[in-house]
Amino acid sequence: MRYLPCYLLLGFLISCSITSSNEIDNENMVNRAFSLIPIPKKIKKTNDFFVIDNKTLIRTSIEFKKEAEYLKNLIEGSSFFKPKIIYDTQSELANVISLEKTTDVNNQIKEYYYLSTGNNSITIKASHPEGVFRGIQTLRQIMPVKFHKKSKKNSWAISGVTIEDYPVFKWRGLLLDCCRHFFDKKIVMKYIDLLAYYKMNTLHWHLTEDQGWRIAIDQYPKLTKKGAWRTEKDGTKYGGFYSKEDIKEIIAYAEERHINIVPEIEMPGHSQAAIASYPYLSCTGEQLEVGNKWGVFKDVYCAGNDSTFKFLENVLSEVIELFPGEYIHIGGDECPKYRWENCNKCQKIIKSHNLENEHQLQSYFIKRIADFLQRKKRKLIGWDEILEGGLPKNAIVQSWRGMNGAMESANNNQFAISSPTSHSYFDYDLQAIDLEKVYSFNPIPKDLNSEKHSFILGGECNMWTEHVPSEKNLDSKVFPRILAMSEVLWSAPKNRNYKDFYERVQYQYKYLEAFGVNYGAETIPVRLDAYTSPEKINITLTKGAKDLDLYYTTNGIIPSKNSTLYKTNIDLKKSSNLLIQAYKNNKPYGECSKHKFTKHLGNGIEPNLDYKYSKFYTGGGKNALTNGVRGSNNFRDGNWQGVQKSNMGIIINLGKEQKINTLSAAFFQKQDSWIFLPRKIEFFSSNDGKTFSLIKTLTNTISPKKDGEFIKEFTIELQNTTSKYVKIVAHNISFCPKWHPAAGSEAWLFIDEFVVQ
C-alpha cells in the first residue's frame, strides 16, 4: 500500500493487550479510529501485529542507550517481565525492538523518525537521539490504555503500522508560570512527561515575578527567604521555591525526555519580589512587600544604577550554571516608565548615552543584558516589547501582542516565537480561546514574505496562573487545548480538518485519565445571541459542539436533565435569569452558563454615543447598552463596553414621551486591571433631544482602591416624570491614581446597560 497523506487515514491503528499469544483483549481491537496526536506526516497500516513479552529484546547502539533505557523502564512499569537491552546491531533476531541509526536524506532533521511494527520486530530509525525518542512516543500512543494505567500484564500486542514523521517547527513550547501560583516539582515533572508524550519540546519556565521569586540564588539568599513568600489579603503566607537540587533533578528529568527548559528571569519590570528582597535595586530604595495583587506594578529595576546590573549578572551567572540550554528568557514586557521618568539616575543615563526617551532606556537595559549573555555563550529571548527602542543583535522575540512582533523580528532577519493572546493564552477562558481557535493558529504571520518564514522558530502556549491555584485548575486550562497546539506546531496540516481532529481528541481522554489529568472542556458549551426589540428579547442558543444537549431554566434554578431541552428560540418578555447546562454522554459538560436579562423601555433602540468604544470591548456593538443582556463578573464576557480615559455620554430616544420611574446603569471595577467605577454619573431628560435638563447627579462613594472584581449599579428614582429622551454622562477618572502600580496609565470605564424603566 502506498503512503497517503496522514489526514486521510484515520481508522487504521489498532492496539490491544493480550494475556497469551492466542488470547486477545478486545479493549482496543474495535473497528474505529485510533487517534494519534499530533498526526504523522506519512502513515500506512499492515495486517501484522507485534507481541511484547518476556522474550522481547531491545536492540540499540551506544548512541541511543538512554532512549533504550527509557523504553525499557516504560515496559517494565506495566509488565510482569523486564526486557533486556542488547548492543548487537548486526545479527538477525526475532521478537526485537530495534533502535537504529539512519543515514537517509532526512538525517539533518534531528527529530525525524521512521517507525515500523511487524510480526517479528518493531523498528525505530532515526539519525539523532531526539528522533528515536519521538518515535518511542508514537509507540506509546499506540499502546492500550491499560498500559498507561500500569496494569501489569504478561504481554502486549501492537498492530502493524509504518510511520515516517518529523516536525514542521523547531520550537514547540508551553510556558508555565510558577510565580503567581507555585507548583511543586512533581507537577512540573508531570508536565514534562505530557509535553514529551505529545511531541512538544520546550518548557518555558517562568521563575520570577512581582508575586514571587522561585529559584534559589546562593549570592542573594533573601530572594527565597523573603521574595518567595507573599502575605495574602487574609494575612496568610503563600509561596515556595525550587532549590538548586530540585532544579537539577527537573533538568535531568527533562533531558531524558528531550525537553529543553528555558528559564525566564523577568526584567526590568515584574520585579517587585526581588525589590522587596533588596530595595536598593529600585529607583526609590523604599522597602516594598512582595506583590499580593495581579497586574502591572510601577516599581521596576533601576536602569541608572550599576548595582542593579551587577545583581542581575550575578543572578544570571548562577542560572546559567544550572540550565545547560542555549536560551535565557529575560521577559522585558509591561515595564511602566513612571519610576524612570522621576529618577535622577535614570535620567542621567538617558542624557549621557544620548537616548531619546525611556523606551530607548529600556533598549539600553536589554542590550546590556544581551551583551552579558552573549559573553556567557547564551542567547536572549524577550517578549515583543524588547523591539521598542531597538532590538539587540541575535535576540529572539516572543510575540504576544498579536503577530506584529514576530513579523518585525523576521523582517530584521532575527528569529521569533509566536504566542499571541488571540490563540495561545491558555489562562483565557474558552469563550476567548477554545480548542478550535487554537487549532486554527498559524505561527507564521499572514503577511510575512515566504523567504522570511524560516525566521519563525515556532510557537508556545502560555499558561499564566493568576487564577490557577491548583493542579486541577492547571490541567483543565491546559488540556485539551494543548493537543491542538501540539498538532499545529508538529504537523501543521495544510488542509486542516477540525472535525477529524475533534474525533481524535475524544479518543485521547481515556489516556489523559490514565495519566491523572483533570482535563477541561473543548469549548464553551453554549453560545448565546440575543435579538432585542421593544416587545421581547429573542434568544438563540448555539451548541459549542454537535454532540451536546442543552437544558435551560429562566427562573435562576440550575438546570438538570428534567429541565427544558432547547429546541427552538427562547422569547423573554420580562426580566429573567437564564441558566443553561450542557450534557455530553449523559453527563454535565462544562459549567452552568448563567445570563441575566433586563426588559426595559429602551430595549431594541439604538443609543447615541458621544464616545468611541474600544474594539476589544464592544459589548456587542452599537446596541450593546439597550439589548437587555447584562454583564457578568468577567469583564471579558463580551457584554461589557469599555473606553479608556474618556467619559461616556449616552442618549436614548424613546420615540415618544413616556412615564419614567427609574434610570440606572451598571459599571464594573477591577482596579488591578485598570478598570474603575466612574467618579460621578449625571442623569438628564429632554423632550426635544437638544436641551437636556439635569435630573440628578450621583457621586461614586466606593474607593478606587477597593480590590476584587465587582459590579455597581447606579440608580435614581423619579416621580411624575415623562420624557422622550434620556441621557447619562459617566465621568471617567481618566488615569490610574498615583498610588496605583500603573500610575499615570489611562484608566478604563466599563458599562453593560442603560436601563429605562
Shared domain for 317 and 431, answered yes or no, is yes
Helix (H, G, I), strand (E, B) or coil at 474: helix
Task: Say if residue 7's pLDDT is above 50.
Answer: no
- pLDDT at position 327 is 98
d(CA 384, CA 398): 6
Cell numbers representing residue 617 in the block: 470591548
Mean pLDDT lowest among 37-51, 203-217, 653-667: 37-51
CB neighbour list of residue 384: distance below 8 Å, 6 or more residues apart: 333, 397, 398, 399, 400, 401, 404, 405, 406, 408, 409
For the chain, what percentages of helix, strand and coil (3-state, to nearest 5) are there? Answer: 25, 30, 45
DSSP state of 494: S
- Please answer whether residues 755 and 726 qualify as being in contact, where contact means their C-beta atoms are separated by less than 8 angstroms: no
- The long-range contacts involving 659-662, CB below 8 angstroms and separated by at least 24 positions, are 659/721, 659/722, 660/601, 660/685, 660/718, 660/721, 660/722, 660/723, 660/726, 660/756, 660/757, 661/717, 661/718, 661/721, 661/757, 662/715, 662/716, 662/717, 662/718, 662/755, 662/756, 662/757
Same domain (yes/no): 616, 720: yes
**pLDDT tens-digit map of 451-473:** 999 999 999 999 999 999 999 99
Assigned domain for 198 exists: no
Q: Residue 130 and residue 132: Cα distance in Å, rounded? A: 6
Residue 26: the pLDDT is 37
CATH of the domain at 144: 3.30.379.10
Least confident of 40-49, 220-229, 650-659: 40-49
- For residue 577, the SS3 value is strand
User: Is position 735 within any domain?
Assistant: yes
The residue from 582, 597, 612 where one domain ends is 597
Q: Does residue 69 sit in the same domain as residue 138?
A: yes
Across 409-416, average pLDDT? 97
For 670, the 3-state DSSP assignment is strand
pTM for the full model? Answer: 0.85
Percent of the chain residues past pLDDT 70, beyond the cut: 95
Angstrom CA distances, 13 to 194, 304, 445, stand at 21, 62, 35
Sheet architecture: strand order including 576-584: 564-565, 549-553, 576-584, 587-597
Strands 57-60 and 96-101, bridge-based pairing: parallel
Residue 513 lies in a domain: no
Q: Are residues 317 and 464 in the same domain?
A: yes
How far apart CA 499 and CA 560 sit, in angstroms, is 28
Q: What is the structure's pLDDT at 18?
A: 37
* pLDDT tens figures, 20-77: 333 344 344 332 235 899 999 998 888 888 999 999 999 999 999 999 999 999 999 9
Partners of residue 17 on adjacent β-strands = 25, 156
- CATH code, 219: 3.20.20.80
Euclidean distance between the first and the last CA atom of the chain, given in angstroms as a whole number: 72
Between 106-115, 303-312, 360-369, 462-471, the lowest mean confidence (pLDDT) is in 106-115
Closest CA to 667 of 698, 623, 622, 621: 698
Domain holding 103, by residue range, is 4-165
- Average pLDDT for 712-729: 95
pLDDT of residue 4: 37
Contacts of 148 (CB under 8 A, 6+ apart): 78, 140, 511, 514, 515
User: Looking at the domain assignment, is residue 478 inside a domain?
Assistant: no
Residues 684 and 697 in one domain: yes
Q: Which of 533, 564, 597 is the last residue of a domain?
A: 597
At 267, which helix (H) or strand (E)? Answer: strand 260-267
For 342-382, the pLDDT digits (tens) are 999 999 999 999 999 999 999 999 999 999 999 999 999 99
- In a domain, residue 186? The reply is no
The pLDDT score that the predictor gives to residue 21 is 36
Judged by DSSP in three states, 506 sits in helix
Distances (CA, A) of 72 to 87, 129, 393: 14, 15, 44
Question: What is the rounded distance in angstroms from the CA atom of residue 210 to the CA atom of residue 548?
Answer: 42
The SS3 call for residue 492 is: coil
Q: Return d(Cα 353, Cα 188) in angstroms, integer.
A: 43
* Domain membership flag for residue 187: no
Asked if pLDDT for residue 270 goes beyond 50, the answer is yes
For residues 112 and 217, membership in a common domain is answered with no
Same domain, yes or no: 382 and 233: yes
Cell numbers for 319: 542560572
Rounded average pLDDT over 87-112:
84
Can you name the residues that pair with 158 across neighbouring β-strands?
15, 50
Nearest CA among 238, 259, 265 for reference residue 183: 238
Comparing 495 with 154, the larger pLDDT belongs to: 154
Query: Residue 475: inside a domain, yes or no?
Result: no
What pLDDT, on the 0 to 100 scale, is given for residue 722? 94
Same domain, yes or no: 586 and 627: no
> 241 and 153: one domain?
no
Percent pLDDT > 90 in the chain is 85
Domain boundary among 165, 195, 226: 165
Q: What is the arithmetic mean of pLDDT over 610-621? A: 95
Instruction: State the angle between helix axes of 244-256 and 306-322 in degrees (0 to 180), rounded to the nearest 10.
Output: 50
C-alpha cell at 482: 494543548
pLDDT above 90 for 545 = no
**Residue 31 and residue 180 in contact, taking contact as beta carbons nearer than 8 Å:** no
In this predicted structure, which of 33-37, 128-132, 353-357, 606-610 has the lowest mean pLDDT?
33-37
The CA distance from 326 to 439, in Å, is 29
Mean pLDDT value across residues 543-559: 93
Alpha helix ranges (H) inside 78-184: 129-141, 145-148
Please count the other Cβ atoms lying within 10 Å of the Cβ belonging to residue 394: 12
Given this model, what pLDDT does residue 78 score?
95
Assigned domain for 357 exists: yes
Task: Say yes or no: 269 and 405 in one domain.
Answer: yes
Mean pLDDT of the chain: 92
| pLDDT higher than threshold 90 for residue 9 | no
The pLDDT score that the predictor gives to residue 493 is 79
Same domain, residue pair 550 and 699: no
Q: What is the CATH number of the domain that holds 686?
A: 2.60.120.260
If DSSP codes are grouped into helix, strand and coil, which group holds residue 189? Answer: helix
3-state SS class at 563: coil
pLDDT at 107: 60
What integer is the mean pLDDT of 247-268?
Answer: 98
State the pLDDT at residue 565. 97
The answer to which of 97-106, 360-369, 698-707 has the lowest mean pLDDT is 97-106
Q: How many helices (H) and strands (E) does the chain have?
A: 17, 36
Number of domains in the chain: 4
Q: Are residues 545 and 671 in the same domain?
A: no
